[in-house]
């Protein structure tokens, strides 16, 4: 299968390396020239448990090289989804599909406005990765990957992709209700990301400190109300699930925390900002998410 990955940062490189090692024809596309050049000249280094594995994989900054792809995986940050979807459109062959495993809400909808919705697969992954430098990533965590068609067209052709992923060691399940899965992941990010980013704390600290916990609950409750208004009923214990994830990832800075620490644009519009956006047409008040979104935007618009 010809697989093109658009956005070959931490996660794109991780998935690309696993799929390439299992024998798939993988191309990494990125705009980061040093990263591309290092991968093409020295291979992609993947650090795991202190050991670095060097993977032979092709990388390019030219989207034309992805033409004729059976599968395009979009792994840019959500701020870049529109551009990546337009690029994906140029790569897909007639039967090709596009998959987003990005965080946040709205990516699959943006892609579906550009690419035939019957070709759009969405999902979540519990793998974790970090960029260490050009041509070098760390595989930081392993967990399930869940995929499903974003529009209600059934999931029958997803078995090929599921098999290819499972053969590559990416434990993958097909979900009929992928909207619920994406919402669940969104709620985790709604509860943890902006609050840790604004306060400089690590994930575990939201569990220990009652006023922080109350803020998390308030943001999550608002998001659940918005989900319900859009036809998605989240589990009653979803707030507890947020605290469980925060505890399990206690020593980590959230991805938004890391973005703010490094003065990079955040994915706020796809996380708390998406709750605000989706609340609007349902006329639901979401003051906590609105405030968190405005504070993160103030912060990122005033980076030095
Ligand atoms: P990243 O910043 O490491 O990688 C994004 C890459 O996209 C960068 O290398 C960047 O140069 C590239 N890029 C930007 N614009 C581009 C364009 N127009 N065309 C091609 N490439 C472009 O980000 P990441 O951590 O890999 O995260 C990617 C997505 O996956 C995000 O939505 C994130 O929330 C989600 N995610 C990340 C993790 C994780 O552990 N890192 C886990 C689950 C989900």
For the segment 121-159, what is each residue's pLDDT rounded down to a tens digit?
999 999 999 999 999 999 999 999 999 999 976 556 799
- Using CA atoms, how far apart are residues 246 and 207, in angstroms rounded to an integer? 7
Question: Which of 125, 160, 176 is the C-terminal boundary of a domain?
Answer: 176
Does 64 lie in the same domain as 161?
Answer: yes
pTM: 0.97
Which of 5, 30, 170 has most ligand 1 atoms within 8 Å of its beta carbon, as the pocket-test mutant? 30
- With 80 as the cut, is the pLDDT of residue 199 above it? yes
Does 64 lie in the same domain as 123?
Answer: yes
Chain segment 158-190, per-residue pLDDT in tens? 999 999 999 999 999 999 999 999 999 999 999
Catalytic residue among 185, 202, 282, 283: 185
Does 145 lie in the same domain as 94?
Answer: yes
Which CATH number covers residue 288? 1.10.1040.10
pLDDT at 272: 98
Residues near ligand 1 (Cβ within 6 A): 6-12, 29-32, 75-78, 80, 83-84, 102-103, 125, 128-129, 131, 255, 267
- Using CA atoms, how far apart are residues 218 and 157, in angstroms rounded to an integer? 40
- Mean pLDDT score across all residues of the chain: 97
Question: Which of 176, 211, 239 is the C-terminal boundary of a domain?
Answer: 176
Does 219 lie in the same domain as 170?
Answer: no
Does 158 lie in the same domain as 237?
Answer: no
pLDDT at 156: 61
pLDDT at 157: 78
Does 165 lie in the same domain as 187?
Answer: no
**Average pLDDT score over residue span 56-66:** 98
Does 10 lie in the same domain as 151?
Answer: yes
- With 60 as the cut, is the pLDDT of residue 197 above it? yes
123 and 100 Cβ atoms separated by less than 8 Å: yes
Does 224 lie in the same domain as 108?
Answer: no
Total tally of structural domains belonging to the chain: 2
Which of 4, 5, 6, 7 has most ligand 1 atoms within 8 Å of its beta carbon, as the pocket-test mutant? 7
Which CATH number covers residue 135? 3.40.50.720
Does 19 lie in the same domain as 153?
Answer: yes
Chain segment 230-269, per-residue pLDDT in tens? 999 999 999 999 999 999 999 999 999 999 999 999 999 9
Atom of ligand 1 nearest to the CA of 127: 42
Does 77 lie in the same domain as 42?
Answer: yes
Does 200 lie in the same domain as 159?
Answer: no
pLDDT at 267: 98
CB under 8 Å to 122, separation ≥6 — which residues? 99, 100, 101, 107, 108, 147, 148, 149, 150, 178, 182
- With 70 as the cut, is the pLDDT of residue 93 above it? yes
Domain that holds residue 124: 2-176
Edge-first strand order for the sheet with 136-141 is 51-55, 44-48, 136-141, 128-133
Centre of ligand 1 to C-alpha 115, Å, is 20
Confidence of residue 45 (pLDDT cuts 50, 70, 90): very high
Percent of the chain with pLDDT over 70: 99
Question: Which of 176, 211, 229 is the C-terminal boundary of a domain?
Answer: 176
Scored b (16 or more CB within 10 A) or e, 266-279 reads bbbbbbbbbbbbbb
Does 246 lie in the same domain as 122?
Answer: no
């Amino acid at each position: 299968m010809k697989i093109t990955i658009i956005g070959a940062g931490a996660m794109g490189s991780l998935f690309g390396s696993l799929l390439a090692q299992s024998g798939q024809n993988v191309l990494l596309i990125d705009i980061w020239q040093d990263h591309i050049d290092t991968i093409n000249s020295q291979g992609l280094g993947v650090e795991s448990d202190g050991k670095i594995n060097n993977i032979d994989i092709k990388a390019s900054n030219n989207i034309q090289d992805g033409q004729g792809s059976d599968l395009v995986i979009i792994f840019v940050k959500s701020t870049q989804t529109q551009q990546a979807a337009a690029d994906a459109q140029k790569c897909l062959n007639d039967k090709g599909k596009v998959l987003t495993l990005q965080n946040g809400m709205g990516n699959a909808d943006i892609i579906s406005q550009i690419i035939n919705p019957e070709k759009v697969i969405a999902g979540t992954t519990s793998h974790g990765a970090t960029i260490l430098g050009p041509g070098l990533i760390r595989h930081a965590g392993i967990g399930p990957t869940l995929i499903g068609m974003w529009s209600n067209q059934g999931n029958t052709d997803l078995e090929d992709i599921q098999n290819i992923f499972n053969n590559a060691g990416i434990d993958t399940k097909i979900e009929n209700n992928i909207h619920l899965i994406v919402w669940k992941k969104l709620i985790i990010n709604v509860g943890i990301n902006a609050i840790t980013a604004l306060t400089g704390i690590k994930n575990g600290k939201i569990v220990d400190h009652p006023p922080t916990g109350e803020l998390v609950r308030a943001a999550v409750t608002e998001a659940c109300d918005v989900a319900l208004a859009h036809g998605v009923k989240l589990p009653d214990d979803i707030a507890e699930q947020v605290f469980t994830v925060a505890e399990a990832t206690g020593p980590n800075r959230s991805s938004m925390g890391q973005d703010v620490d490094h003065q990079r644009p955040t994915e706020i519009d796809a996380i708390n900002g998406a709750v605000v956006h989706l609340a609007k047409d349902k006329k639901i008040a979401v003051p906590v998410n609105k405030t968190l979104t405005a504070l993160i935007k103030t912060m990122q618009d005033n980076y030095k």
